[in-house]
Structure 1
């Protein structure tokens, strides 16, 4: 596994899908199968394309930035900052599993809205 390349591919895949080109993202970076663990997204290319197409239509001005990427074995974890309409800010943690060909074949995620204040004073990043 090329860990550096997998990190770049995960970032490119997610950014391209998020910004409105999910079919292109899947064609470039997706594998023969695509197992989805987000309960709002169906398995496979069609599920990914449908979800991100709908998100682009409903929230055309949403933004994403990548805070960090960590790779180990056949997995890549991405930590992102997202800004949605109304300045709602979220952090996400996305995990991608790669096959032996370096293609993304499985995805898990978790999302949390950034609070206005914290008891510890630390940022979410």
Structure 2
């Protein structure tokens, strides 16, 4: 399995409420993340991912594209907390070491109800 495939599987598992499983398979022991809304350790992020999945059981998570460059993988996704939600464009950037995720950045932009850009976000 490539690092790009690992990053995508990690996100799919977490979106389905299987963050603990995702962390067991793919996260390295020295993992850190940079989400401004949570402490920087893996346990806090894992619990937040599981809580989000419990609170949004009908979440729709769609990977649009993924890129791999040496030890970095970027995944561009559309996330909707409910099927009716306009959702958000999200980019996760993973850094790998020895085929384990050791660092994660995530960025999101809400999809507006009225979009000026005729090309869309996806």
The answer to whether the 8 A contact 1:36-1:107 is kept is yes
C-alpha offsets along residues 64-94 of structure 1, whole Å, 9 cap, x if unaligned? 0100000101100000011113523111011
Structure 2: segments with no counterpart, 5+ residues = none
The answer to whether the 8 A contact 2:92-2:107 is kept is yes
- Residues 1-125 of structure 1 mapped to structure 2, 5 A cutoff: 5-85=2-82, 86-99=84-97, 101-125=98-122
What number of residue pairs does the alignment pair up? 121
The answer to whether the 8 A contact 1:23-1:45 is kept is no
The answer to whether the 8 A contact 2:86-2:112 is kept is no
The answer to whether the 8 A contact 1:63-1:84 is kept is yes
TM-score calculated relative to the size of structure 1: 0.89
Take 2:107 and 2:28, find their aligned partners in 1: how far apart are those partners? Answer: 22
Q: Secondary structure at the match of 1:95?
A: strand
User: Which structure shows the bigger proportion of residues in helix conformation?
Assistant: 1
Question: What is the aligned-residue RMSD (CA, Å)?
Answer: 1.4
The answer to whether the 8 A contact 2:33-2:41 is kept is yes
